[in-house]
Chain A
Amino acid sequence: MRGTGLELPRATVGVSRWRRFRAAVDWPLILTVIALCAVGLLNLYSATRGTRHHAKFDTQVKWMVFGAIGFVVATTIDYRALVRLAWIGLGTAIVLLVVVRLIGEDAHGKGSYRWLNIFGMGIQPSELAKLMMILALAQLFQEGDLSRTPPLVLVAKGLALALPIGLIAIQPDLGSAVLFGLVVITVGFLVMQSVWPMVHLTLGSLLSIPILWETMHDYQKNRILAFLDPSSDPTGNGWHTRQSIFAVGSGKIWGKGYGEGTQNQFDFLPEHWTDFPYSVWAEEWGFVGSVFLLAIFTFLLVWILNVALSARDRMGAVICVGVAALTFWHVVVNIAMVLGLAPVVGVTLPFVSYGGSSLVVFLCAMGFVANVSLRKHGY
C-alpha cells in the first residue's frame, strides 16, 4: 500500500525530468496551503474593507508572493543541505533577537521589543527563530541515538535551542516563548528514542511556572487573570476575550454572512486581523464554516505527518514533525484564545492571520515539507 495516496511512476526511465518533477511535487499539500491562504485573504478583505486598514489586504498579497518565492526556494534546495546550515541559521536568529532587544521598535508602546526594521519591512526575528529551530532539531535528531554525540556538543546544542526561548520571553513575548517550548517538547516526544528526557523537561517547566509568574510584567499577569475571570475587567483586559466570544457565538450555525459580521465590521474587536481572524471567520460563516476551517488545518497536519512517515530519512521526518508541531500549536493556541479557552497571547493563526513574518515563515515551513516529500523517492 502506498503511503501517499498518490500514484507515483514506478519506472522513471524514459520519463522527462519535468514530468518526474511534476509527479513528485506534493500537490495535496500545495492545494491545502493555497486553500488556507485564500481563506486568509477572503477573511482579511472582509475584516478591513472600507476601513482605514484596507491597505492591509494589498500588503498581505505582496507578502504572499514573497512567501511563495520562499516556498519554492525551501522546496528546491535539498533539505540535507539546508540542515547542514541549521546551527548557523539559529545563531543568526539569536543574534537578531539580541539586536531587536537593543535597537528594536516598540510597536505597542508596552515596553515590548519584537520588531526589527530591515529595508523598511517590519520583521520579527522570533518567527525566523522558529524556522531555524525546526532545522536545528532535524540536525540534532538526525541520528536516532543521541549517546553517540559528545556530551559537550549536546549541551551546547541544547543551550542554543533554549537561548531563543529565553530571549523571546524577555522581549517580552510570552506566547511565542511558550509556543517555542511546546514545539521543542513535542518534537522531542515524537522523535527521541526514550520519552523520559522530555517527561523530565515537561515536569521541570511546569514546576518553574511560579518563578516565571514572579518575573512577569503586570500587563501579562493581568491578561492571564482576565482570562481566568473575564468579567473582572470587562472593558480592559477581558474586553478582547468577551468580544471575541460574542463574535464567535453570534455566528450561530450558518453565520451572519460574508461581510456582515457586526463585531468585526464595527470594530468591536480591535486588531482582529492579526490575532483574532478566526473570530471574524466564525462570526460570518458560523459553526459550519468554523468546523470547515478546522478540518482544512486537520487535513494539513495529517498530510504533513504522512510525509514524515514516508520520508526517506530520519532528518526529513524530523523536519516534518517539527513543522507539524509548529502548525498544530499555532492553530490550537490561537483558536483556544479566540474561543476564550486560553489567555490572549500574540500567537497567529497560520496563513489566515495578517502579518508578513508569520505568513512567510509558514510558507517556508511548508516548503520544507514539500522538499522532504519531493525527495522521498530519491529524486
Chain B
Amino acid sequence: MLLKSGGSGAGGSGGVALPELHRRLRWVALAGIGALIFLVARLWQLQVMKGEGYYERTLDQVVKDRYLPSVRGKILDAKGVPLADNRPAFNIYMTPGKPDQPLPAREELARLLGLSTDEIEQVDHRLAVGRKRDPKKPILVLEDQGRDRASLVEQALQRLPGVEVHHEPYRFYPQGDLAAHLVGYMTQMTSDEAERMLTTDTSELVGRYGLEAAWENYLRGKKGIERYAVDARGQRLDEKTAATLIQGDRVTEAVPGANLILTIDLELQKLAEKAIKDARVPAAAVVMVEPKTGKVRALVSRPSFDPNVMTGHLTRQEYEMLRKDPRKPFVDKALRATYAPGSVFKFVTAIAALEDGISPDETHLCQGYYELSGTTFKCNGTHGKQDLIGAIQHSCNIYFWKLAETIGLDRIAEIARQFGFGTPTNLGLNGDGSGRIPTKAWYEQRTKYKIGYATNAATGQGDVEVTVLQMAMAYAALANGGTLHVPQVVERVEASDGRVINSFQPMVARQVATTSDSIDLWRKGMVKVTNEAGGTAYDHGHVDLVQVLGKTGTAEIRTHARKKNEEDERDIENWNPRRSHAWFAGWAPGADPDLVIVVLVEHGGSGGRVAWPIAKQIIEAHYGKQVKPEPQDPLEPTPKKVKP
C-alpha cells in the first residue's frame, strides 16, 4: 500500500521525515475519504437518483413552445357576405431576458420606429411583466402594427436581437355595428377558460357574446404548436441545433375554424337598421322570419355597439358609458329583453274565444269606458257596436275584456303557450328569454286572483311579458296556418375548404291545436288593420306594393316599473321611460306570406304611429327592390308612359 510506506530511502535520520504525519495519517485518510464519499454520494443523488428529472428540466430550459394561431371561422350571411372576418395584424414580440441583462434591442426598436413616449412606456411595462413570467419567452410588446412598421422591423432583425415579428390573424367585423347583437364580440379569456381550452396564454380572445360565443367551438379551430430551441438569453438557435434537441415534429400546423353561414339576409338587416335610424327612435328591435321555415332573416336590436371596439380595444370610459346608458345597449332587445305585448297579443284572446265556440259575429258595445268590480277602465276610443273583425281593426279593448270575462285567464294562457309564449324559443343565443304568461295559479301563489288579471292579459297588459322573437315566431305560425317553428339563424357550418360539416333543417316546435277557422278570422281582422280606413295602422300609412297584414300594439308601462334614474335620461332624444312600447306585427305578401316582421319601439308611444311606419319602410324597400328589376305586370306601366 502506498500510504503505509514508511521507509525513506536516503533520509539519513533512519525513520520517516515527518513522524507526526505518519501518526495522523489514518485520520487524514479517514477525513479525506469521508469528504470524497460525501461528494460521490451527492453526485449519485443528483445524477443517478434525480438525473431524469434534471434532464427534463434542462431540456425545458432550452426547448420552448409557441402557439401558431388558428384562423377563426368567418360568419357569413345567406349570400356569403361576411359579418365577421379576419385581417392580418403584425405583432412585435421581444424576449425580455434577465433583469441585469442590457436590452440594446429596446433602444434600437424605439429609434427605428420612432416610438412615442407612451409606446415606450407600454413596451417597458410589458417587458417587465414578461420578465416576471418567463424571461426567455418572447412577449408581445407592440400589438397590431401597420405593414410599414412591420417591414421596417423585419428588415432590421439582424440589429434587433430577441425581436420577432409575427403575422397573426385579427378578428374584424366589416359591417361595424350592423347586427352586432347577433354576431357578438370576443374578449380575453379568463384563466378558467384557458384551462378548459388547454392553453396557457390568457391573452387569447374567446367569443363572449352573440354567435361568437354560442358557436365558439366551431369557429375556434385548433391552434398549432411550434417547438424551438433557445439559449440562456432566449435567442433562437438555428434549425440544425433545434433538430438535435427536439424529438418528433417541431411544427404542428394549426387547423382553421369552420365558417358559419347564416339564414340572415344582410340586405334586409340593413333596411331594418336604416328604418330605425330614419325614424329617430332611441331603442328598438326588429325580427324578420320566413314563416314557412322559421328561418330568421333579420335580427335587429338597437342601440348596439361596434364589435370591433368591443373585441380588444374598448377603453374603460367607453365601457362605462355603454354600461350606464339607460337604453341598455348590451341587452339584446330582440331575444332577451321581455316586454308587455299590448294589442299584438290579442290574437291569443281571439283564438281562445273562437275555439271555445264564441261566435265572431257576436257584438259588444264600446262606450269608451268599462266598469269592472267598481273600477273604470278606458278604451282607446269610443268604438260603438263591435264584432270581432271590427274590434281587431280598431283594436277595441272593451271587446276583448268582455271575451276575457267569458273564457277566463287560464284559457288565454293555454293558447299563449300553444304559440310558444312563456318558454324560450330555443334559438340558443344571448340568453333567449322565456317571458311570462300568468295563470290563475300563478296569481294565487302571490296574491289573490282577480278577474281584472284576465282582462289585463286579454289585451297583452299586466303581467304578460314576451320577447320580440317569440312574437315573430307566433305571427309566423299565424301566417303559415298554425305551425310553430324553432327559429333558425345558422343555415350550415362549412370547413375552411368549403366542405359542409353540418347543415341544419327547419325544425317544428309544435302544430298549434286550433281549427283553421279561428286563424283565418284573425287574419281577416289583420287585413283591415293595414288596408282599410279606421285600421290602427292604415291611418298612419299604407303599402301599395304588396298586401301587408298586420296588427299594432301600444303597451302601457306600469307605474311601478318606472326607473329611478330619470334624471340621466333626459339628454336622450325622444326618450321617455313613461311612454308606452310601440309594437307592430305582421307579414307580406298577404296571400302567400314569405316574410313575417315584428317591430318593437321601446317607449315609442303608439304602435300605429311609431312602429308601423318602420315596418312599412322596410317592406316597401324590400319588395320595391324585388319588383323593380322585373315588373310583375309589364302591361300596366307601358301605356301610362305613352299617354302623356
Contact = CB atoms under 8 A, between A and B. Distances in A.
B47 A251 contact: yes
B9 interface: yes
Interface in B37-91: 38-40, 42-44, 46-48, 50-55, 57-59, 61-62
Contacts of A283: 58
A323 B178 CA distance: 87
B190 interface: no
Interface stretch (B229-237, B488-496, B569-577): B229-237
B30 to A, nearest CB: 13
A290 interface: yes
Nearest to B12: A312
B18 A317 contact: yes
Given A193-B20, A310-B5, A310-B7, A249 B59 contact: no
Nearest to B13: A313
Contacts of A318: 18
A231 interface: no
A332 B233 contact: no
B135 interface: yes
Given A267-B233, A339-B43, A262 B20 contact: no
A31 interface: no
B113 interface: no
A294 B39 contact: yes
Interface string A290-330: 11001000100111011011111110111001000000100
A262 B25 CA distance: 42
Contacts of A144: 19-20
A187 to B, nearest CB: 10
Given A249-B53, A253-B48, A253-B51, A306 B3 contact: yes
A321 B42 CA distance: 27
Contacts of A378: 10, 12
A376 B50 CA distance: 48
Given A250-B55, A339-B42, A262 B9 contact: no
Interface in B356-405: none
Interface string B1-44: 01101111111110011111110110010001001101110111
B28 A190 contact: yes
A169 interface: no
A311 B8 contact: yes
Contact of B36 (A2, A294, A314, A377): A294
B99 A235 contact: yes
B245 interface: yes
B52 to A, nearest CB: 7
Contacts of B98: 235, 239
Given A191-B18, A309-B3, A290 B43 contact: yes
A249 B22 CA distance: 39
Contacts of B2: 3, 5, 302-303, 306
Contacts of B11: 311-313, 376
B228 to A, nearest CB: 12
Contact of A249 (B6, B19, B25, B46): B46
A266 B18 contact: no
B58 A321 contact: no
B18 A321 contact: yes
A1 B2 CA distance: 10
Contacts of B237: 266
Nearest to A260: B244
A311 B10 contact: no
A3 B8 contact: yes
Most chain A CB within a 10 A radius of its CB, from B12, B13, B25, B32: B32
Contact of A310 (B9, B35, B39): B9
A97 to B, nearest CB: 29
A376 B21 contact: no
Nearest to A316: B17
A63 interface: no
Interface residues of B, number: 54
Contact of A262 (B3, B24, B51, B59): B59
Contacts of A265: 231
Contacts of A248: 43, 46-47, 54
Nearest to B54: A249
Given A189-B24, A192-B20, A249 B5 contact: no
Contacts of B61: 246, 262-263, 268
A298 B36 contact: yes
B24 A190 contact: yes
A376 B7 CA distance: 11
Interface in A237-256: 239, 245-253
Contacts of A317: 16-18, 21
Given A3-B7, A290-B43, A190 B21 contact: yes
Interface string A188-205: 011111010000000000
**Main DSSP-derived SS at the B contact region:** helix
Contacts of A321: 18, 21
A192 B20 CA distance: 7
A3 B5 contact: yes
Contact of A252 (B48, B230, B232): B48
A107 B20 CA distance: 43
A250 B47 CA distance: 6
A80 B58 CA distance: 52
A252 B9 contact: no
Given A3-B5, A235-B99, A313-B11, A336 B55 contact: no
B32 A328 contact: yes
Given A252-B51, A282-B47, A316-B17, A376 B99 contact: no
Given A5-B2, A235-B98, A252-B51, A310 B8 contact: yes
A125 interface: no
A8 interface: yes
A376 B10 contact: yes
B5 A339 contact: no
Nearest to A245: B46
A339 B39 contact: yes
Contacts of A270: 232
Contacts of B36: 294, 298
Contacts of A246: 54, 57-58, 61
B62 A262 contact: yes
Most chain A CB within a 10 A radius of its CB, from B13, B21, B44, B48: B21
Interface in A333-352: 335-336, 339, 341
B131 to A, nearest CB: 9
Contacts of A301: 32
B347 to A, nearest CB: 73
Given A250-B54, A287-B44, A291-B43, A311 B18 contact: yes
Contacts of B3: 302, 305-306, 309
Interface string A10-49: 0000000000000000000000000000000000000000
A145 to B, nearest CB: 11
Contacts of A263: 58, 61
A76 interface: no
Contacts of B53: 249
A286 interface: yes
B6 A309 contact: yes
Interface of B: 2-3, 5-13, 16-22, 24-25, 28, 32, 35-36, 38-40, 42-44, 46-48, 50-55, 57-59, 61-62, 98-99, 135, 229-233, 237, 245
Shortest beta-carbon contacts, A-B, top 5: A249-B54, A3-B5, A252-B51, A266-B231, A317-B18
28 contacts: A3-B6, A3-B7, A190-B24, A191-B21, A235-B99, A249-B53, A249-B55, A250-B58, A252-B55, A266-B229, A268-B58, A268-B61, A268-B232, A286-B47, A287-B47, A294-B36, A305-B3, A305-B21, A305-B25, A305-B28, A310-B7, A310-B9, A317-B18, A317-B21, A328-B35, A332-B39, A339-B46, A376-B8
Interface of A: 1-5, 8, 144, 189-193, 195, 235-236, 239, 245-253, 262-263, 265-268, 270, 282-283, 286-287, 290-291, 294, 298, 301-303, 305-306, 308-314, 316-318, 321, 328, 332, 335-336, 339, 341, 376-378
